[in-house]
Structure 1
């Protein structure tokens, strides 16, 4: 069967197969606004972008993300079915807004927030769009400020929970990015985790001008305070009264981040099929570091680290409910145990009563 004509275009039967495959996953098609009426044009547009991205994609995955060649090739399916339509959606929303778009990316440890942002940046750059990547980690208070913070509250022994960030700095940066004059450079904060023996500190900012799309990612980006009564019967590891008080206090501290979330134009959630996977993912990552000759955390240290963050903002209380809240979340991407994306859906299209 001839699949490609002399001008490089695919023949009708292959296009039809691609259209059928695109519509076969109904929740994903709905999430990206694809209908029977529009699928033909969508597939053609996506093919054009695929051709533009294909050649830089493989070396990018190998050299920037560290994926072996076979894995980079295997991810072409994800490129076609998820990353390209997501990039196309961002472009369409950016054009509708008429100003820089701020896309929030919420996901726990190991869900692939940074990887997703890097791949979207590659695609969007290839299409002529300038992207600013910003992490909630870049907004940490300075080393000196966090030292003072620990004397005030010894429970904040690790950077990361609400209360350890400079919210006003983040608000100022996002407001500038949303109203950006293409000619005016904006100082984007950066955080170096290696400074002060791993305690980390503010690094030199990166100057960016003319950003079209902002990708703002973090482990609690977009989450909202919950009813304090839920901590009376909270899941493990929130088991003691001191655990419950810590969770209540962090929940209260989250209130200060709401003005920051108001700067988001869109929010997607990377939701593992089981939040406890992040514990094993962290162990796997540390083992890879040790195998490469670098130092890594012990399993006991990893468990203490992961459980600390579950006590502060438990995924079952703060992230899982977000996956059904169409008022705040535009897209949910389920992450499977092997890190591959699974179901993709928009909470707005969930049947009534689905939890």
Structure 2
């Protein structure tokens, strides 16, 4: 796909592509793309990498810790870490190493990148990892919390929701903030630019996540069983504090696209 095929892009992908092209014009770039769950990041990223020659895309979700590592975290820090996604559940060192290898690679090199099986809740064996060609012109890394700032006072704040209420001593939040202030900030330092997709609010994100689950399970709109709806409603609460922090602008400087509840750019 080239720039003349823009009509085939979604409005969100088109808006992001315009921002990305401005960054890529400045030379080889590492661009982090942040957006809440269900907003359409993966679809937009696929369109952007097709439209920009020499671009590759990585996803933060591919770099989760192994299940055994996360279960150890749940045992040693707080049981809420059984749920993947929050800061501390990613292998940030592996992502930084992968980025460094891609940036330094020659055109003939092939770099394996991790893959995560969400159905099995486990990282796939290395023999099954996809392989990317070397010397990319632009490296996109997409994830729901890319660029978010740390707030070391957060563990002392009142719980935002029922999930945070289970973190009575603040250990779950304290570990997340320490990770954001350390390993994740060093990851953010590797970016040349940040692109943000800003949702109308956290309530909208919940609706998007419900739609995403319907698509994943292949059910009609509004057809999620009540038990699964309850699961999604609880699951999304693990992300509320940092999603609202991002939407409030507590993040690395960058370019942004605001979307409405239909995911259309404003």
Same fold judged by TM-score > 0.5?
A: yes
Match of 2:258 in 1: 334
Cα shift readout 1:258-304 (whole Å, capped 9, x = no counterpart): 11111111011111011221111112233343426x98762111111
1:89 partnered with 2:22: yes
Does structure 2 retain, via aligned residues, the 8 Å contact 1:269–1:329? Answer: no
1:302 to 208, 232, 250: 232
Cα deviation, residue 50, structure 1: 3.9
Offset at 1:137? 0.8
- Name which of 140, 161, 178 aligns with 2:86: 161
Give the TM-score normalised by the residue count of structure 2: 0.83
2:71 and 2:162 map into 1 onto residues whose CA distance is 26
Deviations 1:79-108 (A, max 9, x none): 66x2452342133022xxxxx311001111
Cα deviation, 1:237-269, whole Å, max 9, x if unaligned, reads 576483571323321222221111111110111
CA deviation after TM superposition for structure 1 residue 337, in Å: 0.3
Unaligned runs of 5+ residues in structure 2 are none
Tell whether 2:43 aligns with 1:115.
Answer: yes
| Distance change (3 Å), C-alpha of 1:192 and 1:287 | closer
Give the number of equivalent residue pairs: 256
TM-score, normalised to structure 1's length?
0.64
- Partner-residue secondary structure (3-state), 1:155: helix
Residue 175 of structure 1: aligned partner: 100
Give the stretch that moved more between structures: 208-217 or 243-252. Answer: 243-252
1:131 aligns with 2:55: yes
CA contact (8 A) 2:104 2:135 kept: no
SS in 1 for 2:33: strand
**Pair 1:79–1:248, CA change in 2 (3 A):** closer
Q: Is the 8 A contact 1:137 1:160 kept in 2?
A: yes
Query: Map of 1:1-355 to 2, 5 A cutoff?
Result: 50-51=3-4, 53=5, 58=8, 75=10, 82-94=15-27, 100-124=28-52, 129-152=53-76, 153-195=78-120, 199-203=121-125, 204-208=128-132, 209-228=134-153, 231-233=156-158, 235-236=160-161, 240=165, 242=167, 245=170, 246-255=172-181, 256-288=183-215, 289-291=217-219, 298-310=228-240, 313-316=241-244, 318-322=245-249, 328-342=252-266
